[in-house]
Chain A
Amino acid sequence: MWSHMFKLIANQWRSNLWIMVELFMSFVCIWLVADVLASLLSRKFKDKGFDLEHVYMVSYYTKSGDVFSYDAGSVSEDELRELAERIRRYPGVEAVGFASGGAFPYTGTVNGHEYFGDTVKAWAVDGFLSPDMVRVLRLTSAEPELDLEREAGRGDISLLSKTLIKTLTRSDATRIRFYTNDKRNNAHMGVRSNYVTDEYNDTGEERCLWAFWPEARLLKKRPQGSVEMFIRVRPEADHGFHDTFMTTMRERLTAGNTSIVGLTPMKDYRHYILGLMGINMMYGTSYFLSAFFLVCAFLGIIGTFWFRTEARTSEIGLRMALGATRRQVRRQMIGEGLMLFALVWIPGLVVVYLLRDVFSVYEVPLSAGWLFVILTVITTLVMALLIVAGIWVPARQASRINPVDALRYE
């Protein structure tokens, strides 16, 4: 059976060559796109350590000194605390917190400092949060029994990413001591957290440190130039929240020189930033390209096999006259298609493996290790299915031929 099929393929090697090139290209392309997609998705579902659902970023403006109505006597941090207090009293608001310029997710920040362990130092992306941000972002630490909110309220605790702890202590500890200067005279406590800036960011190999500062100190010092205000809303209150909030609070949105002018859902903000980072584009391109390659391969296979069966009508008639059943004819045709795919499978895999290295130069995220095997299995199965589906219709048509008509064709 197999050697017979081989003979058939070898006899028509010219037209089979086209199909093989086609299958080869499709296999390689689908594999590579699946690779990019898989690694994007694996990042998407990694534990981020924060939750942005029902969280809003507050846009507020502060009058500049040259404005006529500027109140020189009013203190900026008091205004912000006053506004936060007012929002906390608004029904449906669960928590209000502040974060410095780079300390909230999706800022793409690369601001950082050097931090010191007992013996080593490491550079880390850093930022500063008010204790209430634990509730706003639902931050978690690697120590489940630790009441992060209470500890943060006491001040002087920081969230450290796994890689930073590993660099500072060369261990996987969940709680460590670290210093902010080389003299190592003032120890700070750090807890391990999954909280990274965003799931696609590899800046500083994910060495991050988020320090909790009391709200008053954070607003007064503004360690990274600016602070942003965030609100967590209870799920049941989060229906048309923006509009009702802005209308009912209208008179209470200004304190001294500071005014709140709008709220941005963090989900939208995330989407916007991922767009700027080109992540949305990568997703879109991968989805589109994989669909394109699949449809393209399908059309190619169905088209070529349609004509092949038409050209081979007499052969099929002869087979059936000699006792082959319709099922056997169909099976043989599908077998031929799969055999052609099998012939290009190994060279395809080799090329894919080599192309991965070329692609990594272009900063395309790629999978590694076991994912390679899984992807190979998946793409192979998808291609095989595609081939069977593409040959099915022409094969069925061919097997319906009346042997008498087919033979007269000769």
Chain B
Amino acid sequence: MWKVYLRQIRRLLRENKFFSVVYILGTALSVTMIMLILITYYINTGNIGVVDKRDRMFFVTRSYTVKPGKDISGNNFYKAFQGSAPLSHKMLEKYMYPLQVPEAKSIVGQTQSAVYNKNKQVYEEKSVACVDADYWKIFSMRFLVGRPFTEAEVKSKAPQVVIDESTARALFGKIDVVGYPVEINWKEYRVCGVVEDVPSYLSDAYAHLWYPYTTESRCLFSSDSEDLKDVYGPMKMYVLAHDRGDQERIRQEMEHQIQQMNAPAKRSQFVLNHQPDTALESVFRMSSDPYEKIYSRMQIVFIIIVVLLVLPAINLSGLIVARMKKRAGEIGVRKAFGASVGELMRQFFWENFVQMLIGGVVGLCLSYGIFQLVRETLLVSYRTMNMAAKVGHVDMLNFFHVVNMHTICYVLGICFLLNLISTLVPAWRYARIPIVDALNRR
């Protein structure tokens, strides 16, 4: 049976070239557009490269302060709102380090630093991450030589630095540089490890140099909101849970910690505003909005995806109806020889599915190409914003970070849905035509 189907599909494709081209183009277009969205989603949320535990990662990126005792649900949030900024290390150390539920908690500050390049005798601005020891548990950086800095070293403000391969080559011309001095912001650090480069589109882990946040004076400032001490600062926190379902438990534990923090203050109150976020939620979190806005932003994207599916599906459906009309005779013959409605519908479905898959493959390739071109536009989020906003560039995407089992599954899914929507109605209508009528039509 399969062989007959395949032969028939090949014939159909060849017989009506115009139809096939329009059909495949239509599908490819739709798949390209949806894949652009899904690849963006995947790059921001998938377990890719060194960020291989992202499904268990949660993010606390901002502190929000409101007037105490006010209703902060929905749009009432704006009335009670006092301010919002990233968090201070003092507050995170005191209230978030004691959390019991998560496996690891890391204080992170991404910024730019002046690094002295001895070869060129100039200071160069480099992306750096000021982190603690738990950071190395959350991400799976591959150490080419050396080791990460330890908790004791972070506490004792030891000037240790982990650098990436390209920086090691730029500064020293080789990678075996453990113990070598590096001058960062005019302070001397010692290299304790060298890791493989992290592409900049993995923005959570991205940096060229990593050193303890306790040694960076810019990470250590904090400011108050009214009588609430040390809420604002330049830092954020990554939390690694044991299980991806732990979000709600972590949130409850955080809420508990925050009660202690809010207890002495009268005129201002710290709220989590529904943090910690999953990777997806944190992409849609922007500065000073109530968290419901995150979901309304997601809805827009969802609506766009639905439109991108439905509109081409109606188009293709129109095409299929037109073609069915021509094949009415064939349907009649098939039915006369005992084919059931279900069998005929299955046949139409698979026929179109194969044509669609060709479009899907073309679409996937197209979307990879287009994604490279527009990656600077697609791969931005508030989460990636630095302490000092500086122009950053997005690296070329690794082919296997875009085209892999996940994305191929997405394409299959899109084709299946598109096919289902577009063939179902016409196939149902034409498969049920009485035999005599079908045979009578040309």
Q: How far is the CB of A233 from chain B (nearest CB, A)?
A: 17
Contacts of A67 in B (CB 8 A): 185-187
Contacts of A70 in B (CB 8 A): 186
On whether the beta carbons of B376 and A275 are closer than 8 Å, the reply is: yes
On whether the beta carbons of A259 and B391 are closer than 8 Å, the reply is: no
Contacts of A283 in B (CB 8 A): 377
Contact with B along A289-328 (1 / 0, CB 8 A): 1001101110110111011101100000000000000000
CB of B390 closer than 8 Å to a CB of A: yes
Q: How far is the CB of B329 from chain A (nearest CB, A)?
A: 13
Known contacts A61-B114, A67-B185: A296-B391 contact under CB 8 Å: no
Q: How far is the CB of A28 from chain B (nearest CB, A)?
A: 9
Cα(A285)–Cα(B36), bound, Å: 10
Contacts of B360 in A (CB 8 A): none
Cα(A288)–Cα(B25), bound, Å: 16
On whether the beta carbons of B300 and A362 are closer than 8 Å, the reply is: yes
On whether the beta carbons of A21 and B391 are closer than 8 Å, the reply is: no
Cα(A64)–Cα(B186), bound, Å: 9
Known contacts A67-B186, A67-B187, A310-B326: A304-B318 contact under CB 8 Å: yes
On whether the beta carbons of A268 and B391 are closer than 8 Å, the reply is: yes
Of B61-69, B272-280, B304-312, B342-350, the one touching chain A: B304-312
CB of A142 closer than 8 Å to a CB of B: no
Contacts of B315 in A (CB 8 A): 22, 296-297, 299-300, 303
On whether the beta carbons of A299 and B26 are closer than 8 Å, the reply is: yes
CB of B170 closer than 8 Å to a CB of A: no
On whether the beta carbons of B185 and A64 are closer than 8 Å, the reply is: yes
Known contacts A29-B307, A311-B325: A61-B318 contact under CB 8 Å: no
On whether the beta carbons of A288 and B36 are closer than 8 Å, the reply is: yes
Cα(A281)–Cα(B374), bound, Å: 10
Cα(A264)–Cα(B318), bound, Å: 53
Residue in chain B with minimal CB distance to A302: B22
Known contacts A25-B310, A67-B185, A284-B374: A289-B304 contact under CB 8 Å: yes
Cα(A288)–Cα(B371), bound, Å: 12
On whether the beta carbons of A288 and B314 are closer than 8 Å, the reply is: no
The 8 Å CB contact of A296, one of B29, B124, B286, is: B29
The 8 Å CB contact of B304, one of A66, A273, A285, A300, is: A285
CB of A272 closer than 8 Å to a CB of B: yes
Cα(A300)–Cα(B188), bound, Å: 66
Of B95-103, B143-151, B244-252, B378-386, the one touching chain A: B378-386
On whether the beta carbons of B122 and A362 are closer than 8 Å, the reply is: no
The 8 Å CB contact of B391, one of A15, A64, A264, is: A264
The 8 Å CB contact of A284, one of B123, B187, B321, B377, is: B377
Residue in chain B with minimal CB distance to A275: B380
Q: How far is the CB of B265 from chain A (nearest CB, A)?
A: 22
The 8 Å CB contact of B125, one of A261, A271, A292, is: A261
On whether the beta carbons of A64 and B217 are closer than 8 Å, the reply is: yes
On whether the beta carbons of A307 and B323 are closer than 8 Å, the reply is: yes
- A residues whose Cβ falls under 8 Å from a Cβ of B: 15, 18-19, 21-22, 25-26, 29, 59, 61, 63-70, 110, 246, 250, 259, 261-262, 264, 268-269, 271-273, 275-276, 278, 280-281, 283-285, 288-289, 292-293, 295-297, 299-300, 302-304, 306-308, 310-311, 361-364
- B residues whose Cβ falls under 8 Å from a Cβ of A: 18-19, 22-23, 25-26, 29-30, 33, 36, 112-114, 121-125, 185-188, 217-218, 286, 288, 293, 296-297, 299-300, 304, 307-308, 310-312, 314-315, 317-319, 321-323, 325-326, 374, 376-378, 380, 382, 385, 389-392
Additional 16 contacts, C-beta under 8 A, given A246-B122, A250-B122, A288-B36: A19-B318, A26-B311, A29-B311, A59-B112, A63-B185, A67-B185, A261-B123, A272-B392, A281-B377, A292-B308, A295-B29, A299-B22, A302-B22, A303-B318, A306-B322, A362-B297
